Amino acid sequence: MLDLIIIGAGTAGIAAYKEAIKHTHNLLIINDGPWDTTCARVGCMPSKVLISSANRLHDIQNSHEVALNIEAKFDTSQIMTHVRQLRDRFTQATLKDVNSWNPAHKINGKAIFIDANTIQVNQQQFQAKSFIIAVGSTPSFDIAWKKELGERLITSDQIFELEKLPKSLAVIGSGVIAIELAQAMQRLGVETTIFARSKKVGSLSSPQLQELAQNVISQELKILFETLPQKIQKTDHGVKINYLYQNEDQQLQADYLLVATGRQSLLNTLSLENINSQYQDITSLPINSETKQLDHLPIFIVGDAFTNTPIQHEAAHEGRMAVYNCLNNSKIKNIKTLTSLGIMFSSPEMATVGQSYKTLKQKNIEFVTGFVSYEKQGRAIVLGKNKGAVEVYIDKKTRKLLGSELFVESAEHMAHLLAWMIAEEVTLDEILDKPYYHPTLEEGLRTALKHARRQLIK
């Protein structure tokens, strides 16, 4: 009997293996498909490379904002080659690590459960005292659309394989992945149209910031809010989409349809119903959201397979921490311990830190909102990036920083500062006592914090 079997070798599974091997060599890791992680192959990394080229081009094309006059020349096949070259560099680094592991610990293949202690892979059965399930997720799309459109329907799994960029693209979805990719495409000269089921862009829950984000992002990207295709057809050169907009029949032709409407868990590939017939429906599994334990079994489900934070660093953290729960079954701990931090690499960037506006409202927590607009913020003007705003949420009684939502240039860095401070449970007054270099975007945070303080003093 093995001590541990890890199913899935993505970010979470790899982190779990690297932690587990410090404690036991009596283990297995099983993976179906490539061992280079969703993040490096088709997720975080290639998307950020594409966005980086798109943003640099945008800056050159808008260089007049800093009194320059530069003409940009670019070849989209070179951009896509660059995306894949860097992507390969990142996947190779992961594979180099995985290839250094003991081959006897690794199995290629799809695992299914036979019972709570037994799995089967490639017709062989293995038993273990505990399991970490880290099978991740896959893009959702409408099968009927795929049948109609064939290779003209793409998801984030295929987009980085395009040899050159299309002339036009229709995108379904306005969440994080949809907006990141659509904005990059638009900036790279692809005529992009988004179909959005609701009136929402990206991740912000604050009504004020959400409205601002919709206005700013819509200035450069065509977003059809509360509009979905009524009919989709393949044409000789791409895709024809019929839709109803403001009560009028409309038609759009595009080279490709990118579906970015979320991802579905791969838990359904594991035959969990062999453990308990009630596990047939993977959407209602009895998984503890803090310990990530399935029922009272020695089975822990980590990463994107079951989460409301489908984020790389959360997956890695859960993978590492679940090892403790597997090896110390009598003292199971909460492994969801990180201060919440979500970043969206749009332009301006969006970020949510700690408790979001929506969560605070839902929990009826008494808080004040400190607000700063970056339209007149000194450093933002200097950079020619004076757009967006930030909100900080301060507990009325304890004066502690509870959370923040950001829609601003370099939100990724300020969000980290705020997350680390929330983790240290500091008060508004303590944060205002810290140094603020001049002139920086962080001075805007001070403005927001002072705005909150004025409301508390009243």
Ligand X SMILES: Cc1cc2nc3c(=O)[nH]c(=O)nc-3n(C[C@H](O)[C@H](O)[C@H](O)COP(=O)(O)OP(=O)(O)OC[C@H]3O[C@@H](n4cnc5c(N)ncnc54)[C@H](O)[C@@H]3O)c2cc1C
**Residues of the shown chain interacting with ligand X in the complex, contacts defined by CB under 6 A:** 7-13, 30-33, 37-39, 42-44, 47, 110-111, 134-136, 156, 177, 266, 269-270, 303-305, 310-313, 315
In the bound state with ligand X, the residue whose beta carbon lies nearer, of 33 and 189, is 33
Count of other CB atoms within 10 angstroms of residue 289: 11
Shortest Cβ 93–ligand X spacing (Å):
15
Question: Which residue, 180 or 395, has its beta carbon nearer to ligand X?
Answer: 180
Minimum CB–partner distance for residue 250 and ligand X (Å):
28
Contacts of 309 (CB under 8 A, 6+ apart): 340, 342
Whether cis (ω within 30° of 0) applies to the bond prior to 348 is yes
Task: Check whether 262 is labelled as a binding-site residue.
Answer: yes
Nearer to ligand X, 135 or 223 (CB): 135
Nearest to 193 by CA among 255, 122, 116: 255
Work out how close the CB of 2 gets to ligand X at its nearest, in angstroms, rounded to a whole number. 16
Instruction: Tell me the closest approach of the beta carbon of residue 133 to ligand X, in angstroms.
Output: 9
Cβ distance to ligand X smaller for residue 266 or 394: 266
Q: Specify whether the CB–CB gap between 174 and 201 falls below 8 A.
A: yes
Q: Is 178 marked as binding a ligand?
A: yes
Best CA proximity match to 339, nearest among 410, 407, 426? 426
Active site residue 438: yes
From the number of C-beta atoms within 10 Å of its C-beta (0-12, 13-18, 19+), residue 365 rates as middle
Q: 3-state class of 182 per DSSP?
A: helix
Name 367's bridge partners.
395
Task: Flag whether 174 is marked binding.
Answer: yes
**Beta pairing, strands 239-245 & 124-133:** unpaired
List Cβ neighbours of 67 (8 Å cut-off, separation of 6 or more). Answer: none
Query: Which of 59, 318 has the CB closer to ligand X?
Result: 318
Q: Which helix (H) or strand (E) is 248 found in, with range?
A: strand 248-254
| 8 A C-beta contact, residue 396 and residue 368 | yes
DSSP string, 300-352: EE-GGGS-S---HHHHHHHHHHHHHHHH-TTS------SPPEEEE-SSSEEEE
Separation CA 455–CA 448 (nearest Å): 11
- Kindly write down the DSSP assignment for every residue of 9-51, as one continuous string: -SHHHHHHHHHHTTT-SSEEEEESS-SS-HHHHHSHHHHHHHH
Identity (one letter) of the amino acid at 205?
A: S
Tell me how far, at minimum, the Cβ of 229 lies from ligand X, in Å.
Answer: 22
Least separation, in Å, of the C-beta of 43 and ligand X?
A: 3
Tokens describing residue 110? 């799809």
Report which DSSP code applies to 266. G
Q: How far is the CB of 344 from ligand X (least distance, A)?
A: 8
Catalytic residue among 105, 317, 416, 438: 438
Instruction: Compute the distance between CA of residue 382 and CA of residue 226 in angstroms, rounded to an integer.
Output: 36
The residue (of 53 and 156) whose beta carbon lies closer to ligand X is: 156
Catalytic residues: 438
Binding site for FAD: which residues?
48, 304
Binding site for NAD(+): which residues?
173-180, 262
